[in-house]
Amino acid sequence: MAKLSVNINKIATLRNSRGGNVPNLLKVAQDIEAFGGQGITIHPRPDERHIKYQDARDLATTVTTEFNIEGNPIKSFIDLVLETKPTQVTLVPDAVDAITSNAGWNTIEHQSFLHEVIQEFQNNNIRTSIFIDTDLKLIEAAVKTGTDRIELYTEEFASQFEAGNKNAIKPYTEAAVLAHDLGLGINAGHDLSLDNIQFFKQNIPNLAEVSIGHALIAESLYLGLENVVNMYLHRLK
């Protein structure tokens, strides 16, 4: 079974819209774990428009499952990860003003930089993952960075699947097979939802973990958070 890590950025966005501490981010994280969620993901950005750096520090002492911090490895982010020591850090090449993640790493062009950053995290016993597209050459180059895992960027699959094109899964299947053959763990995330997660899981061999936030929180507005977490767990079996 692939693990479900719930991204709680949208909870922080809702909290920040009114100030104060409602909804309580730490309580939501604890509830998600109690409902069966197997990990908590956050993606702090430099402007702290949703997850704040202090949230990462607070969650590091309260999350009891897997704690995953995503972000662009600028100095402030690297310092935060080394301070909080999450289970996993997922490196994402976000522009400072990006609304959401919209591209994977060019592991050929940035190989040396990624290798240096990854080695520092691994020296601190933090598992590393690289956000990446399905280009097989980039997957091959990812091995040379020393990363433990890759996270397949699934927006294209999700949009094509919604349009009825199930063949859009093929590049992801091929990427996963190659990554596994090369000794890389396989994560996935971005626009995965209750509508497409089961099909995705069935076609991605050796899928270790998915990180889902926007869709899961939106679906929970209608169906309830505990119910939605367990619906994902059922589809990931």
- Of 33, 66, 70, 209, catalytic: 70
Catalytic residue status for 209? no
Catalytic residue status for 110? no
Q: Are 93 and 72 in contact (CB under 8 A)?
A: yes
- Of 33, 190, 209, 219, catalytic: 190
Catalytic residue status for 115? no
- Of 43, 151, 209, 219, catalytic: 43
User: Would you name the residues annotated as active-site residues?
Assistant: 43, 70, 190
